[in-house]
Amino acid sequence: MTNISRRSILAAGAVGGLTSVAAHAAGVFGNPDLPPQGAINSSPQALLDPGPQNPALAGNLPSFVNPPPTDVGGMPLFWSSFNIAPKRVQGGGWARQVNAEAFPISTTIAGVNMRLDAGGIRELHWHQQAEWAVMTYGNIRVTVLDNQGHPYVEDVKEGDLWYFPGGAPHSLQGLGPDGGEFVLAFDRGAAGEYNTLMLSDWLAHTPPDVLAKNFGMPADVFKNIPLQQRWIFQGKVPGPLAADQKAVMSANGAAPYPFVFRLSEMKPNKATKSGQIQIADSTNFRVSTTIAAALVTVKPGAMRELHWHPNADEWQYYIKGEGRMTVFNTGPAAVTADFRPGDIGYVLKNLGHYVENTGTTDLVFMEIFKTDRYEEVSLSDWLAHTPPDMIAATLNIDPAAIAQIPKNAPGVMPA
């Protein structure tokens, strides 16, 4: 195995022109474990899959059906999707969730996808976990009272984020002309949208005389409160934002930092001819102390470079386009999955990964981490700042080529 290049082996595999020599070589080179794995080490007959098929699922996950020849071993499933989650539908909107019950690897983040029509209300509520969100469509009004008693009301649109600390009471409402849709991330995988603490539930299960005493008014005031929780219900489209902001004003003053962040409008932290990365964490989105997020855009033919994250698992939400990610772990293990809008990926802390745009339009996805600071280690940045002799001795690469490795962690390649 000295004069058959990896490239020629992969090319041979791609056209199905395997020889026993190439197959043997691949076992030595691309996959040192025995017995050799991957399509390149198989035969055309063995590669057939004559059993039952679900063509819609198989067609969406081609890398599961035909793994790249370099894939090896296995790992906990890191692919899921809102598209396979049932909706809970009520007047005014719906929600569906993918939390750790449905997606066991996702221990740090629980995902919720919610739609509110114009006037649709997500009831006043609170919960143990912090709530981070990205708007994917339309317009929503958010209200929150922070943990020091500062009220806050703001309107958000596609590309905006919000963050509510754990325990901070809040509500959401769809605005005109067509409400909105968004994805929530709770900062605990076991959390869920169907077990929040709701205003209607609490009042319905508190004696009327206690309510009277608590609010200093006759019990009669509460004679028409709903006896079942509202969760999501149809309301009227609210009036001007300024009027709501004035109505909630407190002697405690305004919140010191906004609970909303215009992520898609910020100057990218990294930009190349192939795409860009926009990062929101506690350094610029000050209130977001438990969630860091990156909005990644990868142009057709380009890829999010090989990298890992040293401080947190990565929860991904795919918004536009088509992509393919390979995750690398010890073992060795390397597993590839395909992603489309609405899909979710999850990469454990420190596992190597890259994401290729496999479509003909921009691939846009979010990387979300349960941490206060975004952190990343770029493979090329590491190699570019390691003594070249060390790289040459390890990888048998010409020192002249080592000098060409990108030195600035470009994020999206080619730069």
Check: CB of residue 42 under 8 Å from CB of residue 15.
Answer: no
Q: Is 160 in the site for Mn ion (CB under 5 A)?
A: no
Nearer to Mn ion, 131 or 356 (CB): 131
- Least separation in angstroms between residue 193's CB and Mn ion is 8
Catalytic position from the list 154, 367, 375, 376: 367
Distance CA 182, CA 189 (A): 18
> With binding defined as CB under 5 A, does residue 381 bind Mn ion?
no
Nearer to Mn ion, 322 or 376 (CB): 376
Element (H, E) at 339: strand 333-339
The widest CA-to-CA distance across the chain, in whole angstroms, is 90
Residue 277 near residue 298 (C-beta atoms within 8 A): no
At residue 39, what is the residue type? Answer: A
Residues belonging to the chain: 415
- Please identify which residue in 131, 160, 201, 305 interacts with Mn ion, judged by CB under 5 A: 131
Of 15, 6, 5, nearest in space to 39 by CA: 15
To Mn ion, the closest distance from the beta carbon of 147 in angstroms equals 15
We find the least distance from the C-beta atom of residue 6 to Mn ion, in angstroms, to be: 24
Q: Using CA atoms in the order 346, 348, 353, 356, what is the torsion angle rounded to 10 degrees?
A: 10
Q: Which is nearer to Mn ion, 314 or 322 (CB)?
A: 314
Q: How many residues bind Mn ion (CB under 5 A)?
A: 2
Nearer to Mn ion, 29 or 162 (CB): 162
DSSP 409: -
User: In the bound complex, what is the minimum distance in angstroms from residue 409's beta carbon to Mn ion?
Assistant: 12
User: Does the protein bind Mn ion through residue 146 (CB under 5 A)?
Assistant: no
Task: Return left, alpha or beta for 229; rule: phi > 0 is left, psi -120 to 50 is alpha, else beta.
Answer: beta
Q: Which is nearer to Mn ion, 31 or 129 (CB)?
A: 129
Nearer to Mn ion, 186 or 285 (CB): 186
272 to 311: interface string for Mn ion, x by CB under 5 A: ----------------------------------------
How far apart are alpha carbons 21 and 28 in whole angstroms?
11
Q: Which helix (H) or strand (E) holds 116?
A: strand 110-116
DSSP 3-state of 399:
helix
Q: How far apart are CA 415 and CA 413, in angstroms?
A: 5
Minimum CB separation from Mn ion for residue 267, in Å?
A: 21
376 is catalytic: no
Select the span of 33-41, 82-90, 129-137, 146-154 touching Mn ion (CB under 5 A).
129-137
Amino acid, single-letter form, for residue 292: A
155 binds Mn ion (CB under 5 A): no
Which C-beta is closer to Mn ion: that of 29 or that of 186? Answer: 186
254 CB contacts (<8 Å, ≥6 apart)? 150, 151, 152
Compute how many other C-beta atoms are within 10 angstroms of the C-beta atom of residue 407.
Answer: 12
Angle 20-29/6-14 helices, nearest 10 degrees?
Answer: 130
Residues 6+ away with beta carbon under 8 Å from 210: none
Site string for Mn ion, 312-351 (x = CB under 5 A): --x-------------------------------------
Query: Using CB under 5 A, which residues numbered 13 to 32 contact Mn ion?
Result: none
Choices 96-104, 130-138, 261-269, 403-411 (CB under 5 A): range interacting with Mn ion: 130-138
Taking the complex as a whole, the smallest distance from the CB of residue 292 to Mn ion amounts, in Å, to 11
Residue of this chain nearest to Mn ion (CB atom) = 131
- The residues assigned a catalytic role are 367
Query: Contact positions toward Mn ion, by CB under 5 A?
Result: 131, 314
